[in-house]
Structure 1
Amino acid sequence: MLFAGWFHYHKAAPKLAWFQDVESMLNHHLAGLLGLGSLSWAGHQVHVSLPINQFLNAGVDPKEIPLPHEFILNRDLLAQLYPSFAEGATPFFTLNWSKYAEFIFIMPPLSLSLRSLDLASISLDLVVSPPHQLK
């Protein structure tokens, strides 16, 4: 992100005409907002919805389920449900994704609705896809 800021400020700085073009500004800001929104939604699906659904599928009383912010703030709580969370994001960034097999390959629900992880992966795809692939 720091490199991108330096690059756009020093090497490929937009001209004044770009800032005065409303369509360029709108596309730029919408891409940023939609990208951050999709990333936030994917994070919510993985770090909040999956653990809560895991508890509900196990038959835990909804009053006993920890509050959503506790899953985000307490990594040990997530590690109890999914042991790979104890390693943090290291397997993700080192492309050792097989470590996450315990929650990537969860059995599908009996209803034919999409699983939370499927929705999260779609949202994450929207974040990392180059803009030309989204047209």
Structure 2
Amino acid sequence: MAQLDTQKIISTIANSKKTTPVKVYLKGKLSELHFPKSVHAFIGKHTGTVIGDWAEIKPILKKAKLDDYYVETAGRNTGVPLLDIKAANARIEPGAIIRDQVLIGDNAVIMMGAIINIGAEIGAGTMIDMGAVLGGRAIVGKHCH
């Protein structure tokens, strides 16, 4: 398992753009709404969903004539996104919180409620149990529980 560079992790935390990621469900006349390319907009005639940074979405919603909208907020002024786990060769249960720049070994198991911070490394075949918290740069070897 490749060790992550400490200085890169520190730089990521210090210099990353802080965002407030949101998902907004919209209802009303949506044909006049125009979002920047950085916002993922899935707009129908009368309903839609937009996903992006609240700082970019909020001004558009303030000007819009909508019947209703609902905002789900995933974080506030966050500088480190969550890890994209789709390609992980591991079992990761819903409710696990895993930040970006985490290494997860093959066939590891991450249980619900586990919290894994940036820079942590989890060995192959290891189980991180419910409620476990791994701080930044924590290293857990292979076949541990």
Instruction: Please indicate the TM-score interval, normalised by the length of the shorter structure.
Output: under 0.3
Q: TM-score, normalised by structure 1?
A: 0.22
Choose between structure 1 and 2: higher helix proportion: 1
Q: TM-score, normalised by structure 2?
A: 0.21
Choose between structure 1 and 2: higher strand proportion: 2
Which structure's relative contact order is higher, taking Cα pairs within 8 Å and 6+ residues apart?
A: 1
